[in-house]
Amino acid sequence: MLKGFAVPTVNISCYKFVTLSDRESLQAGLTSRCGELGLKGTILLAPEGINVFLAGTREAIDAIVAHLRADARLADLQPKESLSSEQPFKRMRVRLKKEIITMKHPLIRPEAARAPAVAATTLKTWLDRGTDDEGRPVVMLDTRNDYEVAAGTFANAVDYNIGVFSEFPSLLAAHRDDYAGKTVVSFCTGGIRCEKAAIHMKAAGIEHVYQLEGGILKYFEEVGGAHYNGDCFVFDKREAVSTDLQPASGRVHR
């Protein structure tokens, strides 16, 4: 229970890369169900998959997660949760998009083959030690936009000062040799950008690449703020959450 609030709002985020050939019918069904449940937020539907940001009561969130998982393609969705004192979204939108996260790199198909992922607890062990299990130095690579990084990031993380995610492939190409003999862990807010980034890095020939499973939010949930400085920017009225996943009140991040 969020301190000081009897009935907190439950916020969830989740995504999955999976082929969706029936996006229009999904849009209609999800729009109707979310409306019935009084939810607000955004659901993105693209040929490559689904990306979900929703907030509402505990009962409504449990109901929409059950609704999503009833689709066999989405049965393994694993939402990340946080709590807030009020509804952080203004409206409910289910949108059709070309990509659920825009890289403008059509050869990237995360559904076909995921990049290796590292769990939060394992990553903390690596960062405590400074090396992975094979003794290679670990480099954290922030794949978020510059204003998100400004709210907080992992200690000593590489940051390319990205304006939009579609800049990532060209920026990586200029620094590809920096990762020789090292293990690079890409990270982002909830996992979607760092998954695409890690697949691209593997395709670019970087040998030892992992994505942080579940992103920063899952890391906070499982191990707290170890090796992380600041807050995590989120795309709603909260602006950012602290390492205990509560709204970072009183701080302006953008």
Note whether 42 and 121 are same-domain residues: no
Q: What is the pLDDT of residue 105?
A: 67
Pairing verdict, β 138-142 and 80-84: unpaired
Among 191, 145, 162, 188, smallest CA distance to 52 is for: 191
Per the document, the length of the chain is 254
Residue 140's domain is classified under what CATH number? 3.40.250.10
In the residue annotation, 188 being an active-site residue is answered as yes
Which DSSP state fits 104? -
Residue 102 lies in a domain: no
Note whether 121 and 232 are same-domain residues: yes
Residue 111 lies in a domain: no
Residue 52's domain is classified under what CATH number? 3.30.70.100
> How far is residue 201's CA from residue 208's CA, in Å, rounded to a whole number?
9
Of 65, 96, 127, the last residue of a domain is 96
Of 37, 61, 96, the last residue of a domain is 96
Note whether 88 and 162 are same-domain residues: no
Residue 83 has pLDDT above 60, yes or no: yes
Instruction: Considering the candidates 14, 188, 194, 232, report the single residue annotated as catalytic.
Output: 188
CB of 188 closer than 8 Å to CB of 216: yes
Q: What is the mean pLDDT of the chain?
A: 91
Note whether 151 and 228 are same-domain residues: yes
Counting the structural domains of the chain, the total is 2
Among 30, 8, 178, smallest CA distance to 83 is for: 8
Residue 104 lies in a domain: no
Q: What is the pLDDT of residue 110?
A: 65
CB of 242 closer than 8 Å to CB of 152: no
Of 43, 67, 96, the last residue of a domain is 96
Residue 249 lies in a domain: no
Helices of type H across the chain = 23-37, 58-69, 120-129, 146-149, 168-175, 192-203, 215-223
Range of the domain at 163: 117-241
Note whether 230 and 184 are same-domain residues: yes
> How far is residue 149's CA from residue 193's CA, in Å, rounded to a whole number?
14
CB of 237 closer than 8 Å to CB of 157: no
**Interval 223-240: pLDDT, tens:** 999 999 999 999 888 899
Q: What is the dihedral of CA 153, 157, 161, 166, to 10 degrees?
A: -90
pLDDT band at 10 (very low <50, low <70, confident <90, very high): very high
Q: What is the pLDDT of residue 249?
A: 62
HSE of 227, CA atoms in CB hemisphere, 13 A: 20
**Interval 109-131: pLDDT, tens:** 666 767 799 999 999 999 999 99
Distance from the Cα of residue 213 to its chain's centroid: 9
